[in-house]
């Protein structure tokens, strides 16, 4: 963290208005980014499948989280529909997402509505985040918040961040950090509230934060204080069916991502990986040819099989992927055709992961790759045009 001789109206989130001769604290990276990175690390650590961000605003956090491989559903809720119109499209899948599909399906949905209303579609999530949200509530709304989020939604984990007013003494102003804030709590106030809520709804809570104070002012704590709530183990999991109710929120935006769970994308990747391995083996074969020996092909005596040996230098240690193919049938040539048995192709870890067995591999590639008569090997020209 750096200190500069500047004053700013919004020192914590980077909107700087310069006024000389006063010190200000500048966070690097910006504080909003530190908060989102903190959540991202929690997701990577705990690997939730379903995450909802309440008060998602410009959807920046959702845009960061969508790349987490564990996620299958991302939801954002905000009362301001205008923000969705401007930022929702940033959540759409891009060309790269289609070329390199995710392992798991991912659906992203943005709901327009108040986080203080109960909507059954928000029940049963693994993680709910409330980043810089509660300080915008008046006392009446703050009283409703725990019942909706902790009592009704009842996610496995809840992450709540809010400004730490103890830190405000370091800023060159005495007002709240945002004009819309109804309160800003000290660490004692936040922890008292959080512990009371945790006890009422059977959660544990731990406290941390982001935005370290400058040297010599460590006693004020983090600029943003964070509570991480974990639902305690119960004899039985909450019965989600009992909490079904109305769909109060309006769907403002929804999108889904291509994944290997979807047959058309899995087929595309399998065909690509098959061609890649076949042509790699074909090139390797041709590079190592020093002599060929003709022998009768038992399936077709009039079309001799060429058997190759290699005159390359002593072989290098096998790569991990190649070790798995050592005990599989080897590629061979008949006439001007090069054949790679499917049993050898599926031995490669990535293909094995995508297909599982030879029958599934054959079914996925049959319409896009030329197979031999028995369907047991991929067939390509030995002298491929790409070599010319």
The answer to whether the beta carbons of residues 134 and 146 sit under 8 Å apart is: no
> pLDDT-derived band of residue 4, with 50, 70 and 90 as boundaries?
very low
Q: How many helices (H) and strands (E) does the chain have?
A: 11, 15
> pLDDT-derived band of residue 383, with 50, 70 and 90 as boundaries?
confident
Does 7 map to a domain? no
Position 374 pLDDT exceeds 90: yes
H or E stretch at 113: none
In angstroms, the CA 56 to CA 133 distance is 9
Mean pLDDT of the chain: 85
Tell me 121's DSSP state.
G
DSSP per-residue letters across 171-238 = SS--S-SSTT-S--B-HHHHHHHHHHHHHHTTEEEEEEEESPPPTT-GGG--SEEEEEEEEPP-SS--
In angstroms, the CA 72 to CA 68 distance is 9
Query: Cis peptide before 282, with omega less than 30 degrees from 0?
Result: no
Position 382 pLDDT exceeds 70: yes
pLDDT number for residue 295: 52
Does 118 map to a domain? yes
In angstroms, the CA 3 to CA 224 distance is 17
The answer to whether the beta carbons of residues 370 and 379 sit under 8 Å apart is: yes
- Pair 163, 225 in one domain: yes
> pLDDT-derived band of residue 236, with 50, 70 and 90 as boundaries?
low
The answer to whether the beta carbons of residues 150 and 73 sit under 8 Å apart is: no
Does 200 map to a domain? yes
> Which residue among 206, 237, 257 closes a domain?
257
Does 198 map to a domain? yes
Find the CATH number of the domain harbouring 230. 3.40.50.150
CA 307 to chain centre: 48
- Pair 317, 223 in one domain: no
Calculate the CA dihedral of residues 341, 347, 352, 356 and round it to 10 degrees. Answer: 70
In angstroms, the CA 227 to CA 224 distance is 10
Position 241 pLDDT exceeds 70: no
- Pair 178, 298 in one domain: no
- Pair 275, 240 in one domain: no
Looking at the chain, the whole-number percentage of residues with pLDDT higher than 70 is 80
Does 229 map to a domain? yes
- Pair 312, 211 in one domain: no
Does 4 map to a domain? no
- Pair 95, 172 in one domain: yes
- Pair 99, 204 in one domain: yes
The tokens for 364 are 């996925």
41 contact partners, CB below 8 Å, separation of at least 6: none
Mean pLDDT of 274-290: 83
Mean pLDDT of 21-46: 89
pLDDT number for residue 51: 98
H or E stretch at 135: none
Whole-number Cα distances in Å, 29 to 13, 130, 210: 10, 20, 11
Mean pLDDT of 125-142: 97
Position 340 pLDDT exceeds 80: yes
Mean pLDDT of 300-324: 51
- Pair 205, 70 in one domain: yes
Does 299 map to a domain? yes
- Pair 220, 330 in one domain: no
Position 296 pLDDT exceeds 70: no
CA 46 to chain centre: 12
| Sequence-ordered alpha helix ranges (H) in the chain | 31-46, 60-65, 81-87, 95-99, 139-146, 187-200, 263-287, 320-323, 342-345, 349-355, 358-365
Does 125 map to a domain? yes
- Pair 90, 65 in one domain: yes
> pLDDT-derived band of residue 185, with 50, 70 and 90 as boundaries?
very high
Instruction: State which residues form the domain around 68.
Output: 31-257
347 contact partners, CB below 8 Å, separation of at least 6: 324, 325, 328
- Pair 167, 293 in one domain: no
Please count the structural domains in the chain.
2
- Pair 242, 322 in one domain: no
In angstroms, the CA 52 to CA 128 distance is 5
> Which residue among 222, 257, 292 closes a domain?
257
In angstroms, the CA 281 to CA 380 distance is 11
pLDDT number for residue 324: 59
> pLDDT-derived band of residue 309, with 50, 70 and 90 as boundaries?
very low
In angstroms, the CA 303 to CA 287 distance is 23
Q: What is the CA angle 358-363-366, rounded to 5?
A: 110
> pLDDT-derived band of residue 137, with 50, 70 and 90 as boundaries?
very high
57 contact partners, CB below 8 Å, separation of at least 6: 78, 80, 83
DSSP per-residue letters across 355-368 = HSSHHHHHHHHTTT
The helix/strand/coil state of 243 is helix
> pLDDT-derived band of residue 154, with 50, 70 and 90 as boundaries?
very high
> Which residue among 201, 225, 257 closes a domain?
257
Mean pLDDT of 381-386: 72
> pLDDT-derived band of residue 302, with 50, 70 and 90 as boundaries?
low
């Amino acid at each position: 963290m750096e200190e500069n001789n500047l004053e700013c109206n919004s020192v914590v989130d980077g909107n700087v208005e310069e006024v000389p001769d006063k010190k200000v604290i500048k966070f690097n990276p910006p504080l909003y980014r530190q908060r989102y990175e903190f959540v991202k690390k929690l997701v990577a650590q705990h690997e939730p499948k379903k995450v909802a961000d309440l008060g998602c605003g410009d959807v920046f956090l959702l845009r960061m989280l969508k790349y987490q491989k564990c996620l299958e559903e991302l939801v954002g809720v905000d009362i301001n529909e205008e923000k969705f119109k401007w930022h929702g499209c940033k959540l759409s899948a891009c060309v790269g997402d289609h070329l390199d599909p995710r392992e798991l399906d991912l659906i992203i949905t943005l709901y327009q509505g108040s986080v203080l209303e109960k909507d059954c579609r928000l029940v049963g999530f693994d993680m709910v985040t409330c980043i810089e949200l509660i300080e915008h509530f008046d006392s009446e709304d703050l009283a409703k918040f725990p019942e909706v989020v902790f009592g009704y939604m009842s996610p496995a984990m809840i992450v709540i961040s809010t400004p730490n007013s103890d830190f405000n003494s370091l800023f060159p102003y005495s007002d709240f950090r945002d004009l819309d804030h109804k309160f800003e709590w000290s660490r004692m106030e936040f922890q008292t509230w959080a512990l009371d809520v945790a006890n009422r709804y059977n959660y544990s809570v731990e406290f941390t934060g982001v935005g370290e104070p400058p040297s010599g002012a460590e006693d004020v704590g983090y600029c943003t204080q964070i509570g991480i709530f974990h639902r305690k183990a119960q004899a039985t999991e909450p019965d989600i069916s009992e909490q079904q109710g109305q769909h109060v929120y309006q769907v403002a935006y929804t999108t889904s991502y291509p994944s290997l769970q979807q047959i058309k994308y899995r087929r595309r990747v399998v065909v690509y990986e098959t061609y890649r391995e076949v042509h790699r083996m074909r090139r390797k074969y041709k590079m190592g040819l020093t002599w060929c020996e003709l022998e009768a092909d038992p399936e077709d005596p009039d079309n001799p099989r060429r058997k190759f040996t290699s005159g390359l230098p002593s072989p290098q240690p096998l790569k991990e992927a190649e070790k798995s193919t050592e005990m599989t049938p080897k590629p061979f040539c008949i006439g001007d055709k090069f054949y790679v048995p499917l049993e050898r192709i599926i031995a490669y870890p990535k293909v094995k992961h995508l297909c599982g067995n030879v029958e599934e591999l054959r079914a996925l590639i049959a319409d896009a790759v030329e197979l031999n008569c028995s369907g047991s090997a991929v067939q390509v020209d030995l002298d491929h045009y790409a070599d010319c």
